[in-house]
């Protein structure tokens, strides 16, 4: 975390809180990035399937749709 040059430094309590929160914020940002990439890939896959001139049926390993 950074603070403007004209402001006082963060206090000890704030630094402690930010230290505790930092790993969770990092994980949240990583999760957001992964979800964004997944959405983009799903969108590209959907466009590819919709561009086909044949029917497509998607099943899982158990043969369920």
In a domain, 4, yes or no: no
In a domain, 54, yes or no: yes
In a domain, 33, yes or no: yes
In a domain, 20, yes or no: yes
Q: Specify the number of domains making up the chain.
A: 1
Quote the pTM value.
Answer: 0.59
pLDDT in tens, 23-51: 999 999 999 999 999 999 999 999 998 89
Task: Kindly state the tokens that stand for 16.
Answer: 């402690």
User: By residue range, what is the domain housing residue 23?
Assistant: 11-65
Give the 3-state secondary structure of residue 3: coil
Q: In sequence order, what DSSP letters do the residues of 43-65 get, joined into one string?
A: HHHHHHHHH-SS------TTS--
In a domain, 52, yes or no: yes
pLDDT in tens, 4-30: 888 988 899 999 999 999 999 999 999
């Amino acid at each position: 975390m950074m603070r403007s040059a004209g402001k006082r430094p963060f206090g000890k309590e704030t630094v402690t809180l930010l230290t505790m929160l930092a790993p969770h914020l990092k994980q949240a940002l990583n999760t957001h990035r992964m979800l964004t990439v997944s959405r983009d890939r799903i969108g590209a896959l959907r466009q590819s399937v919709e561009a086909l001139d044949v029917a497509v049926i998607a099943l899982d390993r158990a043969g369920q749709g």
